[in-house]
Structure 1
Amino acid sequence: MDNIQPNFDTKDILNRIIDENWITENSTGVFIIKDCIVVQGFTGKNYTYRVVNYMTGDKKYLFYRREILKKKEYEDVIKKVRDLSFYDLKQVSDGLEMIDHIFKEIFPKYGFVVREDQVHLSKHIYENMKEQRISLSDIAVGLGKTHAYLIAAIVYSIFPKKNRSYRQMPIVITTSSIELQRSIINEYIPQISKILIENGIISSPITSVLRKGKENYVCEKRLKDYFQSLDPNRKRPSEYRGLQQLIQSRNIDLAEAENISGYDKRKINVKSSQCIKCSEFKICAFQRFMKQARKSTYHFQICNHNYYLADVLKRKDGRISLLPDYQTVIIDEAHKLMDAANQMYGTTIIEHEVASMMKKIAPAYSKKKDQKELKNLTSEAMALNQMLFDLITDRVPERSLMDDIEKFPTEITLRTMKIIKKLLFTIHEISKKMGYTERQFSIDLKAFIEDLKLFLLGANICWVENPKARGQRKLSSIPKVISSEIGKDLWTGKRSMILTSGTLAVDGDFSYIKHQLGMSFLGDTKVKELTKSSPFHFEENCMIYLPQTMPFPNIDNEVYIQKLSREISNLIDASNGHALVLFTSYKLLRLIFQHVQEIQPERQMIAMNRGRSATIDEFKQSQNSVLFATGSMWEGVNIPGDVLSHLIIVKLPFPIPDPISDYEKSLYPDMNEYLKSVLIPKMLIKLRQGVGRLIRSETDTGVISILDVRASVNGRYHQDVLHALPRCRKACCIENIREFLREKKDNAYFE
């Protein structure tokens, strides 16, 4: 962020110094440079120019002239301003001093609380940026890590390394959730930018751009063509108006469009295979946006983990990158990076997508010889595609078709390989026979060929998803050596990499995440670690309950189901609802929900289906209901206040076995070693994510109940669980919970 560039947005500062009576009301702002503003007056004959330090009130008359100052003359004025004794009075010697100055002197004027741990975190990140190291930080909720890394990044750009040629390049921020990306762009950065300008730290606003995959944007040509094909009498009126408004607005971000269905979005979004030969390529709004977004003039390029990894893989293959060259990467919500890597380094073939592509390539008419041959070939490809999926799903045992398993192991047998090779040959023949009209699918066809080839390699882990949902079946694979590939691609460069999350470490130990992300070969001089506990008063505001009398978790044991249902019902009574009951499987959720509903038919209870948004909103709007949930509810959900005051965790969240974990297990000498190195750390990280749903602010109070006997005082994982969670009061019985909540809540809570 170049600190000698003038800022021409002078309105707020000008009004402030007029209110202070430092200048007359008829003055106008010319530009701001650091902590000084140049103002212009008019006497009736001449234009007068003064400079005012808007922090101190110091001012100086510069000159007058008959003609208004021109922009090309500003540079000479800037030189005069910079020579003044009161210019940039808040100079600091280095970045660490600047971070102190911002957090301890500037931010408190705007209502921010000084947290020494937050300042320390920001300094830690700044120093690792400066030294081009990798930082791993496990930061509990409430500390303010987003402000910490944004300030560190801004200061790093103000104080580039000395004795090194410096070129302005953006900083990449990658997160898992779109909610955080939007908050950074729409809330954090504008707020910080305004504060730093007002206090003379920077002269011009901090800029950022949100980067997303092409499928998230509108193709104007496809939108117009699709809209013209619609019959307004057969289309839902709200959706028809939504498309009409989208055409008029020329907005290209589908996330901001209203009343556009998922089906319509797929009909109007950008398709890479159609861009190159599009007749409107040169006037396309999406292409203009991409051209601007790729520029290095933005201070921050913000994206999700998948988009960032897609850029890494493109650079690795020597293809055109998605992002401009950048100086450092901040990976927030870094505990989700491995999930994104499994998707981006892996390969997935979806049954209906292959069939759909063949139908589009198949000619509408087949009178000519070439047309007949092409139609026959596409028909053959569709038949082979179905044979392939039938073959791999037939090998999935019926007993393993549990509703909570998503990845089913499959083996690429000799017969399977024969079908894949035959399908590859047919696709090659199709590519030769395609005419001019069908060539728009060449890119998609080539990608499909490359994906198919990967299933012929023995170095991949393969699995099938949705095995009984014909058309929706998926064949997927990832390299067995994915961790080492990530290690080479991400951590061997010369730029700094800042990884942060609330759940990266297990009891202060980063070994698990370092192993997963291929960092084990890096020494202590390259990787720096930091953990910070929550500033919230857990010992005062939170209680934990670990009952000892629960049976061992077993969904097929009726005694366990009955005992668990009664315990949950009693706990709900103790907190008068206000509870989130977290499960690790939908099957157990449905069973217990039914039982508890029979015990308490009068209480409002909500069972979360696989789509979560509507149920969360319903729960938030209720007074004292109970939400039964699983899946995505373990993380990324913010329900502050008394609505959620009791978190009931039914079972310790050990990962469900799948082909990836089966292979991972084979790399360890025995089950105990695998349990200690992988399963327990993964479970504890997930447990911390779930527990993080409860206390979301300094004033939140509540209870955590963990009903897995393995976490109880005599349980195998008792000490692991206690070390992973914040230190809280202990409840010996359900009556302790009632007493605690009576102490913390007002009377209205129990009505």
Structure 2
Amino acid sequence: MMDNIHVNLDTKDILEKVIAEKMVMDNSTGVFIIKDCILVQSFTGKNYTYRAVNYVTGDQKYLFYKRQELIKQDYDCVIDKIKALSFYDMKQASDGSEMIDLIFRDIFPKYGFVVREDQVELSKHIYENMKDLKISLSDIAVGLGKTHAYLIAAIVHGTFARKDRFYKQTPIVITTSSIELQRSIIKEYIPEISKMLIENGIIPSPITCVLRKGKENYVCENRLKDYFQSLDPKRKRSSEYIGLQNLIQSKNIDLADAEDISGYDKRKINVKSSQCMKCSKFKTCAFQQFMKQARKSTYHFQICNHNYYLADILKRKDGRRSLLPDYQTVIIDEAHKLMDAANQMYGTTINEHEINNLMKKISPANVKKKSQNDLKNLSSEVMALNQMLFDVLADQIPNDAFSEDTEKFPTIITSRIRTLLRKMVFNIHEISQKMTYTERQFQIDIKAVLDGLNVFLLETNIYWMENPKAKGQRMLASIPEVISKELGEDLWTDKRSMILTSGTLAVDGDFSYIKHQLGMSVLSDWKINELTKLSPYHFKENCMLYIAKKMPFPNVDDEAYIQMMGEEISSLITASNGHALVLFTSYKPLRLIFQKIKKEHPNRQIIAMNRGRNTAIDEFKESKNAILFATGSMWEGVNIPGDVLSHLIIVKLPFPIPDPISDYEKSLYPDINEYLKSVLIPKMLIKLRQGVGRLIRSETDTGVISILDARAGDTGRYHQDVLHALPECRRAENIEDIQAFLNEKKAKSYFE
């Protein structure tokens, strides 16, 4: 930087542009770029000549010649000459709002982008909240381009913030729920935006970013080398052996980029916290070098997932070293998933298998000394207590509580369980005192287990059990009762701007539910700005809504209900000639109705998405007119554009399945109606909007939404709530209307 002007010495791309556009001679070289001008040098055989070229407008002027090449000490004088030119800095805006207009209205259209007024308004809204250190809640429908909106707002904010004399370089943190979005931001959005803004003189050099992930996602060079040497090439699958060999040679440390390596192998070679500090290669380790670089505040963006971001918050809260460098602005995309991440990060789990495994590692193989014998006896006793604890927990659960859709089983910490926990804590503490130098590598793991066990002796938590029938894999879990309050105190008390955005953050324009969930009651109203933007897609023209009449009340155990639902789905599938996604809220009705439809439509491709089956979505995408029966993850985050998915059939309104967390939440309300209005209905409508969002994914998509829940019908309790939550569509009175609509919208090949 010279006299507060950013000079970019990386002239390669811009030089290629001005040569390609015949602005300068082919043998020219670039000296530096300043704003929208490049200083170009040519050698005549005797002298070096210099000219300034505005690479946006094409204007240029010869400046001077020299017998010797220009040196850096001369740059200030040349910069003054360029700044005095009439064509210098022609495209600079006077403020951030004007610059956002310039980018969206003048620059982006050159590259084929369409100007969307709502997108420009959203970007300005985000920029103003960044500038004023406020909190933005924005509910932005699919297709509006919110990622471009917040990235441009952030870049413009950084550009103008630098002009402040108190400016301090800090990155902007972007946290998302999905890996796909993180990758898109890093590999597509940021490089593309950088290129466009540099070519148009808005920024002098590329935008920089770094992806932050937990240690377990990276390769430990020592563990990789030791593990590879321990393998027998004849007994190891050849593709996996070669994959590990290639990983050693490539020196790549990101496991996400490693090919042909199994999940088992990854667990054998990833970075382990307990082994880092005592490692002889700590100072030269590639992972530690990466972390040292990644922690620098010089990156424009630090990108991570919600769990990593909350882990950083918790480390700062406990006075430990932070994961991220200091920041003043956070963009939380897919913000509707932040509470799920909080339940994980603020929660505690103890795993039967992990405790047993740790005790086995600590237990000495050869007992020669009394201390070794003590250690062996103590670790054996912990393993026995561990099994007793989980047996007692599992015995608490009544048989009628088991169903394939229940994941969290309510648990009471009885006096018997408390006694077992205390004995385990005492013995593990004794183990930590008796460990020799060899076992001290497990000190961090021991502390983690002790901290976890102690949480279950508290009386202010919600407890539950997972996998109660999977002996060895059983898990006890807990979260604080006051998690929203705790989260609110941790997230909102610092003076920084927070940009929360999602396609499903509000219910009919009302943000009350998410504000309550995220503990935002600690904030004054003036601190929060809200914005809702509807989809730019033409739903009224391109989408039809059918709500079935005369359906029975949903009851998966009622054979008549399953029979009628099967008949209705069968007719709907026929009407749309397949091309359908049938969304369920649980596996039992999916399985029962799938069997019926399979028999009735033997010549159709019908795919069921089961637990652990990852190929179903790809099969459906590659099909012509298949039917996909799905639940779980298919309610959100899946993109299937085009005619393959033209009919979305929602079997039941997606009310959450009761669990210990919702049971506690319910106890905080005076009656069930208040709880229904404040929590259950908003939760259901947000999930419903996420499901509906799978259908129309572009301006040209057309299709039908069918809802088969009697409670959404004309006389149903939630009819108006459902209509207000969804985009305004054409209404179908019967299945014949669906056929007529699709005949109007689709080509003949669609029905073949």
- Report the TM range for the smaller structure's normalisation: over 0.9
Deviations 1:472-531 (A, max 9, x none): 111000000000111110011100000000000000000000000001232221011000
Which amino acid is the alignment partner of residue 628 of structure 2?
L
1:699 aligns with 2:709: no
Cα distance between partner residues in 2 of 1:606 and 1:235: 34
Q: Contact 1:7–1:205 (CA<8 Å) still a contact in 2?
A: no
Other-structure match for 1:44: 45
Give CA deviations for 1:629-669 in whole Å, capped at 9, x if unaligned: 00000000000000000000000000000000000000000
Against the structure 1 CA distance between its residues 265 and 20, is the aligned structure 2 distance closer, same or farther, given a 3 Å change threshold? closer
Distance 1:69 1:364, change over 3 A: farther
Q: Which residue of structure 2 lines up, in the alignment, with residue 543 of structure 1?
A: 544
Q: Does 1:25 align with 2:26?
A: yes
C-alpha deviation, 1:5, in angstroms:
2.6
Aligned residues: 751
Deviation at 1:75, TM superposition (A): 4.5
Q: d(CA) in 2 for partners of 1:188 and 1:485?
A: 34
Which residue in 2 is equivalent to 1:486? Answer: 487
SS in structure 1 of the partner of residue 520 of structure 2:
coil
The answer to whether residue 124 in structure 2 is matched with residue 148 in structure 1 is no
Task: Out of 81-90 and 217-226, give the one that drifted further.
Answer: 81-90
Conservation of the 8 A alpha-carbon contact between 1:403 and 1:587: yes
Please list, as runs of the form range in 1=range in 2, the aligned pairs for 1:558-597 lying within 5 A after superposition. 558-597=559-598
1:548 touches 1:714 (CA, 8 Å); kept in 2? no
Query: Matched residues in 2 for 1:76 and 1:659: separation?
Result: 71
Shift of 1:302: 0.1
Report the secondary structure of 2:525's partner residue. coil
In the superposition, the TM-score normalised over structure 1's length comes to 0.98
Q: Bigger CA drift: 729-738 or 47-56?
A: 47-56
Structure 2 counterpart SS, 1:31 = strand
Please name the residue that 1:686 is paired with.
687
Using the TM superposition, give the Cα deviation of residue 280 of structure 1 relative to its aligned residue in structure 2, in angstroms.
1.2
1:642 aligned onto 2:643: yes
Moved more, 383-392 or 183-192: 383-392
Is the Cα contact below 8 Å between 1:4 and 1:203 reproduced in 2?
A: no
Q: Aligned partners of 1:64 and 1:296: how far apart in 2?
A: 40
Tell me, yes or no, if structure 1 residue 339 matches structure 2 residue 340.
yes
Separation (CA, whole Å) in 2 of partners of 1:477 and 1:555: 30
Check whether the contact 1:214–1:272 (CA below 8 A) recurs between aligned residues.
yes
Partner of 1:405 in structure 2? 406
Aligned to 1:174: 175
On the 8 A contact 2:328/2:495 being kept in 1, the answer is no
Counterpart position of 2:509:
508
What's the counterpart of residue 61 of structure 2? 60
> Partner of 1:84: helix, strand, or coil?
coil
Counterpart for residue 499 of structure 1: 500
1:449 positional shift: 0.9
Residue 168 of structure 1 deviates from its aligned partner by: 1.1
Query: Structure 1, residues 221-251: CA drift from partner, whole Å, max 9, x if none?
Result: 1000000000000000000000000000010
SS at 2:161 equivalent: coil
Moved more, 680-689 or 584-593: 584-593
Map 1:63-82 onto structure 2 (within 5 A).
Answer: 63-71=64-72, 73-82=74-83
Q: CA deviation at 1:34?
A: 1.2
- For 1:589-624, what per-residue CA distance to the aligned partner results, in whole angstroms no more than 9, with x for missing partners? 111101111111221100001235311001000001
1:289 maps to 2:290: yes
SS of 1:297's equivalent in the other structure is: coil
Secondary structure of the corresponding residue to residue 442 of structure 2: helix
SS in 2 for 1:282: coil
Q: Deviations over 1:523-562 (max 9, x none)?
A: 2210110000000000000001101111110011100000
Aligned partner of 2:12 in structure 1 is 11
Report the Cα distance in structure 1 between the residues aligned to 2:100 and 2:609, rounded to whole angstroms. Answer: 44
Match of 1:106 in 2: 107
- Give the equivalent residue in structure 2 for 1:621: 622
Of residues 62-71 and 681-690 in structure 1, the stretch that sits farther from structure 2 once superposed is 62-71
Question: Cα deviation per residue 1:188-217 (whole Å; 9 max; x = unaligned)?
Answer: 000000000000000000000000000000
- Conserved? CA contact 2:489–2:522, under 8 Å: no
- Offset of residue 73 of structure 1: 4.5
Partner residue in 1 for 2:363? 362
Task: Give the alignment's TM-score, normalised by structure 2.
Answer: 0.98
Q: Deviations over 1:358-396 (max 9, x none)?
A: 111111211111111111111111111111111111101
CA distance in 1, matches of 2:21, 2:467: 68
* Residue aligned with 2:8, SS: coil
C-alpha deviations, 1:250-269, integer Å up to 9, x for none?
10000000000000000000
3-state SS of paired residue (1:89)? coil
How far did residue 344 of structure 1 move? 0.2
Give CA-to-partner distance per residue, 1:59-116, whole Å, 9 cap, x none.
Answer: 2333333333334544443344334332211121100000001000110111000000
Q: State the alpha-carbon separation in 1 of the partners of residues 522 and 315 from structure 2.
A: 24
CA distance in 1, matches of 2:581, 2:591: 15
> Residue 448 of structure 2 aligns to which amino acid in structure 1?
A
CA displacement at 1:297 relative to structure 2: 0.7
Name whichever of 664-673 and 90-99 sits farther off. Answer: 90-99
Inter-partner Cα distance in structure 2 for 1:182 and 1:231:
36
Deviation at 1:21, TM superposition (A): 3.1
- The alpha-carbon deviation at position 4 of structure 1 amounts to 3.0
Please give the alpha-carbon distance, in whole angstroms, between the structure 2 residues aligned to 1:177 and 1:20: 41
Unmatched segments (≥5 aa) in structure 2: none
Q: Is the 8 A contact 2:177 2:333 kept in 1?
A: yes
Gaps of 5+ in 1: none
Deviates most, 157-166 or 18-27? 157-166
Indicate if the aligned counterparts of 2:539 and 2:728 stay in contact, CA closer than 8 A: yes
Q: Please name the residue that 2:242 is paired with.
A: 241
In structure 2, the residue corresponding to 1:390 is in which secondary structure? helix
Please give the alpha-carbon distance, in whole angstroms, between the structure 2 residues aligned to 1:177 and 1:625: 27
Q: 1:241 to 1:75 in 2, by over 3 A?
A: farther
User: Residue in 1 aligned with 2:441?
Assistant: 440
How far apart in 2 are the matches of 1:25 and 1:677?
A: 68
CA distance in 2, matches of 1:339, 1:495: 23
Which residue matches 1:88? 89
Paired residues of 1:30 and 1:38 also in contact (CA < 8 A): yes
In structure 2, C-alpha distance between the alignment counterparts of 1:315 and 1:142, rounded to whole Å: 37
Percent identity of paired positions between Structure 1 and Structure 2: 76
CA drift of 1:160 comes to 1.3
Deviation at 1:456, TM superposition (A): 0.7
* CA deviation vs aligned residue, 1:701-722 (integer Å, no higher than 9, x gap): 0000000010011111000000
Q: CA RMSD in A?
A: 1.3
CA contact (8 A) 2:132 2:497 kept: yes
Query: Equivalents in 1 of 2:219, 2:70: separation in Å?
Result: 43
Q: CA deviation at 1:26?
A: 1.3
- Aligned-partner SS, 1:181: helix
Residue 186 of structure 1 corresponds to 187
- Residues 544, 728 of structure 1: 8 Å contact kept: yes
Deviates more, 1:603-612 or 1:623-632: 603-612
Q: Give the whole-Å Cα distance in 2 for the aligned partners of 1:138 and 1:209.
A: 27
Determine the C-alpha separation between the residues in 1 that align with 2:535 and 2:16: 40
Offset at residue 162 of structure 1 (A): 7.0
8 Å Cα contact 1:130/1:161 also seen in 2: no
Q: 2:655 is paired with a residue of what secondary structure?
A: coil
Q: Secondary structure at the match of 1:329?
A: strand
Contact kept, 8 Å, 2:462 with 2:481, in 1: the verdict is yes
Structure 1 residue 54: Cα displacement:
1.1
- Partner residue, 1:213: 214
CA distance, structure 1, for counterparts of residue 530 and residue 212 of structure 2: 29
Q: Are 2:101 and 2:120, in contact at CA under 8 Å, matched by a contact in 1?
A: yes
